[in-house]
């Protein structure tokens, strides 16, 4: 008995010493955040797993958090707002002491607008030893890139992926961007409140985009089933289209009382402009792809009146939101939009989850593979985060729990040069 206990103890001792040595070895090698690169050369996919599994966790230096969003292409109409939100969060949380005294450092990697760019950016960040990745901008890109993070065991916070099925990509994928199913129908309810006479609805959506397909499904079900309206035409387009004469003419011929559009920013706003130019005067509901002031230069005065459901209110009465609105307005001369607030929230949940992990086991004692796993487990623990989006948490699948949604209506100046999203009561 005594012998068994003694040999058991010595095994425990050996294991503990081995673990300590491993931890020290892990901690000794400095983390090497990926240098921001504009060439976005794709590392070999085969090296991804091995490199990240053996890499050391960040030590005394800043903790690298990857941000893979669109800084170029038409998708940068969203991505620009995301970069601003993430950088504001980086500055703010570092001023608050970072992760229990250790600063964070964003590692930006441009995805541009396609799937391949998102995959390249993800692989660069994974190999660059980031603790987590915020991105990509589009659901279309997420379905392609997130599986690489899943394979490498890197937590992903989707900052703006609202299509059905995003958290189900895998156990490492969570989102701070509420799904279209929860958000979009609010805009239809608002349209009916403004004009209770609406009976006939026309729908248009971008066929080559995962989010647009998901959102139009939600809209079409709500139009016919929830609100009992008549769907008079369904028009399709591509996110790369610039000429919408056919779709706009077909919509006008169907004589709808309401037009509902699911596309991205440039295409969606061009369609709206051409629809108005051809003479449509009724209400327009735009989906999440029209949820940015960056559409104003595209549809100009013809943006006026568009209804858009939002998962963020700049009016939210909380300390962190007031700070975001004040800081952003000071620098940009306008209030922040949803994509900025969601990117801020994405950084925030990672910082706060890292603090919780660090309080249990100091991060600098953890191997990167363990740190990434512990961070993911913490995010999925149900802990609540008081963000500019309100109080949020993640369910065990990584879906956001968020209480409050809003509907805004775009108001443009007469000359179409400036405008704003005005929240409806």
- 111: contact with ligand 1QQ by CB under 6 A: no
Taken in order 77, 79, 80, 86, the sign of the CA dihedral is positive
- 211: contact with ligand 1QQ by CB under 6 A: yes
| Cβ proximity to ligand 1QQ, 132 vs 308, nearer residue | 308
Paired residues of 284 in beta bridges: 259
Residue 111: φ, ψ to 5°: -95, -15
CA 308 to chain CA centroid, Å, is 17
| Cβ proximity to ligand 1QQ, 55 vs 176, nearer residue | 176
* Stretch in the footprint of ligand 1QQ (CB under 6 A) among 7-15, 154-162, 396-404, 411-419: 154-162
- 139: contact with ligand 1QQ by CB under 6 A: yes
Count of residues that interact with ligand 1QQ, criterion CB under 6 A: 11
What distance in Å separates the CA atoms of residue 114 and residue 122, rounded to the nearest whole number? 13
- 321: contact with ligand 1QQ by CB under 6 A: no
Paired residues of 133 in beta bridges: 66, 156
Among 33, 40, 64, 78, binds ligand 1QQ (CB under 6 A): 78
- 405: contact with ligand 1QQ by CB under 6 A: no
CB of 118 to ligand 1QQ, least distance (A): 11
Structure tokens at 158: 């989707």
CB of 69 to ligand 1QQ, least distance (A): 9
Sheet holding 385-387, edge to edge: 385-387, 390-394, 400-401
| Cβ proximity to ligand 1QQ, 56 vs 75, nearer residue | 75
Taken in order 137, 140, 142, 144, the sign of the CA dihedral is negative
Contact assessment for residue 363 and residue 57, using Cβ atoms and an 8 Å cutoff? yes
Task: Rounding to the nearest 10 degrees, give the CA dihedral for residues 133, 87, 310, 316.
Answer: 120
CA 231 to chain CA centroid, Å, is 30
Among 71, 109, 162, 274, binds ligand 1QQ (CB under 6 A): 162
CB of 268 to ligand 1QQ, least distance (A): 9
Residues in the site for ligand 1QQ, rule: CB under 6 A? 78, 137-139, 160-163, 211, 288-289
């Amino acid at each position: 008995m005594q012998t068994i206990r003694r040999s058991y103890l010595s095994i425990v001792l050996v294991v503990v010493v081995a673990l300590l040595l491993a931890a020290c070895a892990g901690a000794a090698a400095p983390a090497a955040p990926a240098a921001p690169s504009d060439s976005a050369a794709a590392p070999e996919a085969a090296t991804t797993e091995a490199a990240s599994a053996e890499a050391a966790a960040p030590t005394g230096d800043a903790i690298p958090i990857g941000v893979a969003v669109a800084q170029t292409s038409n998708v940068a109409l969203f991505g620009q707002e995301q970069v601003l939100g993430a950088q504001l969060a980086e500055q703010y949380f570092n001023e608050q002491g970072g992760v229990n005294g250790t600063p964070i450092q964003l590692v930006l990697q441009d995805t541009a607008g396609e799937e391949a760019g998102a995959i390249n950016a993800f692989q660069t960040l994974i190999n660059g030893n980031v603790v987590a990745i915020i991105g990509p901008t589009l659901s279309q890109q997420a379905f392609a890139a997130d599986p690489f993070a899943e394979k490498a065991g890197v937590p992903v916070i989707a900052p703006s992926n609202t299509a059905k099925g995003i958290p189900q990509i895998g156990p490492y994928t969570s989102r701070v961007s509420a799904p279209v199913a929860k958000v979009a129908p609010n805009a239809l309810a608002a349209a009916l409140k403004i004009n209770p006479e609406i009976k006939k609805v026309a729908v248009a959506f971008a066929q080559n985009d995962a989010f647009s397909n998901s959102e139009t499904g939600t809209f079409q079900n709500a139009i016919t089933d929830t609100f009992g309206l008549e769907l008079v035409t369904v028009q399709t387009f591509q996110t790369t289209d610039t000429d919408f004469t056919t779709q706009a003419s077909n919509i006008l011929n169907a004589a709808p009382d309401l037009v509902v559009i699911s596309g991205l920013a440039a295409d969606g706003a061009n369609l709206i402009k051409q629809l108005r130019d051809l003479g449509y005067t009724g209400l327009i509901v735009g989906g999440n792809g029209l949820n940015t002031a960056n559409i104003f230069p595209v549809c100009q005065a013809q943006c006026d009146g568009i209804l858009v459901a939002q998962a963020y209110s700049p009016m939210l009465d909380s300390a962190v939101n007031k700070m975001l609105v004040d800081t952003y307005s000071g620098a940009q001369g306008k209030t922040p939009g949803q994509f900025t607030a969601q990117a801020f929230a994405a950084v925030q949940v990672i910082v706060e989850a890292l603090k919780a992990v660090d309080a249990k086991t100091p991060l600098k004692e953890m191997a990167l593979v363990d740190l990434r796993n512990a961070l993911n487990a913490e995010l999925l623990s149900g802990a609540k985060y008081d963000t500019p989006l309100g109080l949020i948490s993640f369910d065990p699948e990584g879906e956001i729990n968020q209480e409050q949604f809003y509907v805004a209506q775009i108001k443009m100046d007469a000359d179409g040069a400036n405008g704003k999203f005005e929240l409806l009561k």
